[in-house]
């Protein structure tokens, strides 16, 4: 039975079940009087007496015999405190048996254990107050048992095989990469992280250029390839702070090395002006003017001037004034541009007049108002044409069903 404090006199006693009042008759009578007072006040319509929450210390109306103010966080914290008090009051052999049973359940059903851990971490992550409490509790526990925890960690590392050590190192590196990614994507810490990386690169390049061996050694302290410095394959500077198999000192040199290997410089003759140029791609002209002249089939001196962007334009659909971002833009938004294209397409179809043609129902000649008109404007002809289309559709459907 766990030892708890009496709610009336404060003395510690061995609680049986969920009792929180010591066996003293005076404490039990006082507890009963306070409960009767609350019930009488509720029956008489008077405001109930106030109590103080055991967790946050706030006063609340004692409508029921509860110990907290009703906040879910306070209720959860009181439940955890009671569980920890009961757990620490257990004898050591019973604690060991409980831990062993929990381990066996996790081994028998790892999926359920993983789901339970995920739910627990999600609850903790969504509650900042609880997350801060867990962090403070972990720091306090480590401060009390630092020597024992470190000894246990060293013993576990000594028992590991080389393969297990390699897996542990890779997992820790994955945690580091994930932490760096979170730091870069954080809107507050991301700029600070990028500024720190830029400053590190700047100091490293300055040390390389100046030949300061001491500063370079300080910057390279703890790097994986600090003892295997080799020259860059492009510029000749030492390759530091990169992967051990890297052959270049920076991304610019890496890009240049790739271009030299896969897209070497080749001399070509421009198809527009006839001059010689050395591109890395399959370009056939040396400049934008030559490209336009070749596309339009005109000499360079007869090229029309480029259409300049207007500072302001009026939307053809909604009539709003907007700033175009390309030449010939007629709509201010994607919706207006889509509607404008539809309008222009319909207008191009109705440019008529189209030559007369016979009606598909009455065979009388008529002038259609669109390029694919088949029926004259008579309402009866249009209705008959729709009925024919429906009959043809039903006939083809029955035919397909019979063949199938």
Give residue 44's pLDDT. Answer: 43
Give residue 16's pLDDT. Answer: 72
Q: Which of 341, 338, 335, 308 is nearest to 324 (CA)?
A: 308
The percent of residues in the chain predicted with pLDDT above 90, rounded, is: 1
Tens-place pLDDT, residues 42-61:
444 445 667 788 888 888 77
Give residue 309's pLDDT. Answer: 65
Q: For residue 373, is pLDDT > 60?
A: yes
- Which sign does the torsion angle of CA 67, 69, 72, 78 carry? negative
For residue 358, what is the enclosing H or E element? strand 357-358
Give residue 218's pLDDT. Answer: 57
Q: What are phi and psi of 9, to 5 degrees?
A: -100, -15
Q: For residue 211, is pLDDT > 70?
A: no
Give residue 42's pLDDT. Answer: 43
- What does pLDDT average to over the chain? 80
253-258 own/partner pairs: CB under 8 Å, 24+ apart: 257/233
CA separation for the pair 163, 92 (Å, rounded)? 36
Give residue 38's pLDDT. Answer: 52
Give residue 45's pLDDT. Answer: 46
Q: For residue 213, is pLDDT > 70?
A: no
End-to-end CA distance of the chain: 80
Tens-place pLDDT, residues 262-298:
878 888 888 888 888 888 778 888 888 888 888 888 8
Give residue 224's pLDDT. Answer: 46
> What average pLDDT does the segment 79-83 reach?
86
> What average pLDDT does the segment 190-197 reach?
78
Q: For residue 39, is pLDDT > 50?
A: no
Residue that the structure tokens 């002006």 belong to? 273
> What average pLDDT does the segment 12-24 reach?
76
Q: For residue 130, is pLDDT > 70?
A: yes
CB contact set of 49 (below 8 Å; sequence gap of 6+): 34, 37, 38, 41, 61, 62
Give residue 307's pLDDT. Answer: 63
In the structure, what pLDDT confidence band is assigned to residue 134 with cuts at 50, 70 and 90? confident
> What average pLDDT does the segment 107-134 reach?
84
């Amino acid at each position: 039975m766990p030892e708890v404090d009496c709610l009336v006199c404060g003395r510690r006693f061995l609680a049986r079940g969920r009792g929180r009042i010591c066996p003293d008759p005076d404490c039990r009578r006082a507890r009963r009087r306070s409960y009767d007072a609350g019930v009488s006040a509720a029956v008489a319509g008077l405001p109930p007496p106030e109590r103080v929450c055991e967790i946050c210390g706030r006063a609340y109306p004692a409508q029921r015999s509860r110990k907290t103010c009703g906040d879910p966080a306070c209720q959860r914290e009181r439940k955890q405190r009671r569980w920890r008090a009961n757990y620490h009051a257990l004898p050591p052999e019973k604690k060991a048996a409980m831990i062993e049973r929990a381990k066996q359940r996790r081994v028998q059903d790892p999926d359920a254990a993983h789901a339970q851990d995920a739910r627990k971490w999600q609850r903790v992550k969504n509650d900042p107050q609880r997350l801060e409490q867990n962090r403070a509790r972990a720091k306090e526990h480590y401060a009390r048992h630092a020597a024992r925890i470190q000894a246990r960690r060293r013993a576990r590392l000594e028992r590991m095989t080389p393969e297990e050590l390699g897996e542990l190192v890779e997992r820790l590196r994955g945690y580091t990469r994930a932490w760096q990614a979170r730091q870069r994507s954080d809107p507050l810490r991301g700029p600070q992280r990028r500024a720190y990386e830029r400053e590190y690169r700047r100091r490293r390049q300055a040390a390389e250029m100046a030949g300061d061996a001491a500063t370079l050694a300080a910057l390279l302290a703890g790097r994986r390839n600090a003892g295997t410095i080799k020259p860059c394959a492009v510029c000749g500077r030492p390759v530091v702070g990169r992967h051990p198999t890297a052959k270049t000192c920076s991304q610019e040199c890496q890009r240049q090395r790739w271009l030299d290997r896969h897209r070497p410089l080749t001399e070509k003759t421009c198809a527009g002006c006839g001059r010689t140029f050395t591109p890395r791609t399959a370009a056939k002209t040396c400049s934008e003017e030559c490209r336009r002249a070749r596309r339009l089939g005109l000499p360079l001196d007869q090229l029309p001037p480029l259409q300049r962007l207007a500072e302001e334009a009026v939307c053809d659909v909604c009539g709003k004034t907007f700033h175009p971002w390309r030449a010939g833009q007629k709509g201010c938004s994607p919706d207006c541009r889509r509607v404008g294209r539809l309008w222009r397409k319909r207008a191009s179809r109705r440019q008529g007049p189209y030559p007369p043609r016979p009606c598909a129902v009455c065979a009388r000649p008529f002038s259609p108002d669109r390029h694919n008109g088949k029926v004259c404007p008579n309402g009866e002809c249009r209705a008959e044409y729709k009925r024919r289309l429906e009959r043809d559709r039903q006939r083809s459907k029955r035919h397909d069903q019979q063949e199938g």
